[in-house]
Amino acid sequence: MYEIIEEIIRRAGALVLSAHDIEDSVREKTSHCDLVTRYDSMVQDQLYRELLEAFPEAGFYGEEGDFCSIEGKSAHFIVDPIDGTTNFIRHARHSCISVGYRKDGVMEYGAVYQPYTDEMFTAQRGKGAFLNKTPIRMRNVPLSESIAMFGSAIYYRETIPATARIMSELLPIVLDFRRSGSAAMDICYVAAGRADVFFEACIRPWDYAAATLIAQEAGGVISALDGTPLRYIDRCSVAVGSPLNYPELIEIAKKVANEPDMKGRIR
């Protein structure tokens, strides 16, 4: 089953690589910083068609148009056709396709594909995490030895003060920060040991579903920033780390969330 999904994702990646005149197809979704191109929709349409042809019993939950056809389905795909759309528009060559498979309320499989580097991060529940079929493992280090990655939650402007406060608490502790413009890739980088901890104050399921399973199978701990489980059907905050740095991150996040002027600023 999962080999078929990976083949489908790679074909979608070829569509990303073939993109041209990208700037001519850009439009705003919810705001001036929430952008989409015709390729986002084209890739999602291709994934929808091919995934459901291969697995007609499954539902589909995709970013573009908040497309959701999961009612009455015991299993469904959670899809971001191009995570890192602004990177894609600017030809930064750091975007990915994210496909998660959830059954009976449990994430069973995740794949995140970076077509520009031909890197396929994958995980099956209980079977470990892989990069191009080679096992990967998260580094288990404290915050003082960690590179921190984060998402700015820029679409949800009310979360910006909380993001800045968490960063201000982390900056004197961690080795350094990274911000790539793709949450799915950031989380996979943590899983692969290229960074060590990730957080975002508000994020949608298609951005984190596949990648957080990959991180978990690589030895990581995942949750919302208040320590509660991820919701997978609605937006929420995300925390990803190792057994050593995750508790430190959560402690900082809870401290910030309890500050009087931060109420409600973390989802």
Q: Looking at this protein, which amino acid is placed at residue 113? A: Y
Percent of the chain exceeding pLDDT 70 equals: 97
pLDDT on residue 251 = 98
pLDDT on residue 48 = 96
Q: How many residues are given for the chain?
A: 267
Residue 182 token pair: 């793709």
pLDDT, tens digit, 9 for 90 and up, residues 42-70: 999 999 999 999 999 999 999 887 678 87
Q: How far apart are CA 47 and CA 80, in angstroms?
A: 10
Q: Taking phi first (over 0 means left), then psi (-120 to 50 degrees means alpha), and beta for anything else, what does residue 143 get?
A: alpha
Q: Where are the beta strands (DSSP E) in 74-226?
A: 75-83, 96-103, 106-114, 119-124, 129-131, 134-136, 147-150, 176-178, 197-203, 221-223
Q: Under a CB-based contact definition with an 8 Å cutoff, are residues 202 and 183 in contact?
A: no
Between helix 183-191 and helix 205-217 the angle, nearest 10°, is 0
Q: Which residues of the chain have pLDDT under 50?
A: none
Q: How far apart are the first and last CA of the chain?
A: 34
Q: Which residues contact 238 (CB under 8 A, 6 or more apart)?
A: 151, 183, 187, 198, 199, 200, 203, 208, 212, 222, 223, 224, 225, 230
Q: How far apart are CA 232 and CA 105, in angstroms?
A: 9
pLDDT on residue 24 = 79
Greatest alpha-carbon pair distance for the chain in Å reads: 51
pTM: 0.95
pLDDT on residue 188 = 98
Q: Give the number of other Cβ atoms within 10 Å of residue 89's Cβ.
A: 19
